[in-house]
Structure 1
């Protein structure tokens, strides 16, 4: 893969299903009040940076599009969508309650569910999808995506392997800046 352009990567704000412990995958749930506040915090973070020449690309899933509209308001427009930024597919477990699925599946934790989900996408397929997306980028961009997809994009951009995915930091209401294989977490406290 050619060197990637500078990127800001955002996870969508908290959703109603995040707050109740349900897995979304390709399903959708609206942002909570806290989720909209997290997107506004991301807008303030982005506003403090020079975004000249940057485009905005969002997952087409509603929670990401709503976050993109708030976070990029008055800063970048229009916002394109790309299905490659969608969340990892959870197959039969999409919409399930995380705690119940951990118990019934024998998974060690919620992270394992993304790899074990029947008819799910799995990490190797997500990695291939993210590699393909990154290879098509032609310039600096703000990417608005999802928890696991954000981690996979950043894992690839920092030259790490799939087995390191669990160690990639996450978070809502923050922004990750990536350039030249290095990642920096930006938040309002930094």
Structure 2
């Protein structure tokens, strides 16, 4: 899948709801102090990268946009928004606690399954198509600021893996994933 440009993909920093173990989906929650520090760490990581000619897109959701503003501060890159970078929709389960939903959903092996089983949720197949359409629209190198599941799906597509590999994709807040020539590097401070 090396026909895509070089991309740096970031997940938003920790939020109040991450801390409370609540699913966010299309709902939003503010960054914690730790989340702001994670975004500042991403800024330090990106400062070491050559971002000449790069543009940036963020999910329009507050937690991602705030992270993007901190992570790209001082770099002279304007951050646009694209709804296709939003987190996977989880319908009626947005705002609910993971433990409660796992107890109520015997078919769910883990938190990943909750995203697939959510009533009125988007599901992984639709997220895959949304992410693929977004990636196919890019015309040059970008920094992308998104969410946990959406970041994994974007990277899965860029690495040429099947959606079945989603739960095996590494995540992380306060890190930056560089995807170039079909390879992924996890950049940390």
* Alignment-derived partner of residue 81 in structure 2: 81
* Alignment-derived partner of residue 98 in structure 1: 98
* Alignment-derived partner of residue 167 in structure 2: 166
* Alignment-derived partner of residue 109 in structure 2: 108
Checking the alignment, whether the CA contact within 8 Å between 1:55 and 1:76 is kept in structure 2 is no
* Alignment-derived partner of residue 26 in structure 1: 26
Q: What RMSD over aligned residues (CA atoms) do the two structures have, in Å?
A: 0.9
Find out whether 1:118 has 2:119 as its counterpart. Answer: yes
Structure 2 gaps, min length 5? none
* Alignment-derived partner of residue 59 in structure 2: 59
Alignment of 1:110-189 (within 5 A): 110-188=111-189
In the alignment, the residues of structure 2 paired with residue 139 and residue 43 of structure 1 have an alpha-carbon distance, to the nearest angstrom, of 21
Checking the alignment, whether the CA contact within 8 Å between 1:54 and 1:76 is kept in structure 2 is no
Q: How far apart are 1:49 and its partner, in Å?
A: 0.6
Q: How far apart are 1:2 and its partner, in Å?
A: 7.6
Checking the alignment, whether the CA contact within 8 Å between 2:57 and 2:79 is kept in structure 1 is yes
In the alignment, the residues of structure 2 paired with residue 33 and residue 93 of structure 1 have an alpha-carbon distance, to the nearest angstrom, of 26
Structure 1 gaps, min length 5? none
Runs ≥4 in structure 1, deviation > 6 angstroms?
Answer: none
Checking the alignment, whether the CA contact within 8 Å between 2:2 and 2:182 is kept in structure 1 is no
Deviations 1:98-151, CA, capped at 9 Å, x for gaps: 110000011111111011101100000000000000000010000000000000
TM-score for both structures, normalised by structure 2 = 0.98
In the alignment, the residues of structure 2 paired with residue 89 and residue 51 of structure 1 have an alpha-carbon distance, to the nearest angstrom, of 31
In the alignment, the residues of structure 2 paired with residue 73 and residue 56 of structure 1 have an alpha-carbon distance, to the nearest angstrom, of 12
Secondary structure of the residue that 1:57 maps to in structure 2?
Answer: strand
In the alignment, the residues of structure 2 paired with residue 23 and residue 39 of structure 1 have an alpha-carbon distance, to the nearest angstrom, of 20
Q: How far apart are 1:83 and its partner, in Å?
A: 0.1
In the alignment, the residues of structure 2 paired with residue 99 and residue 139 of structure 1 have an alpha-carbon distance, to the nearest angstrom, of 41
* Alignment-derived partner of residue 43 in structure 1: 43
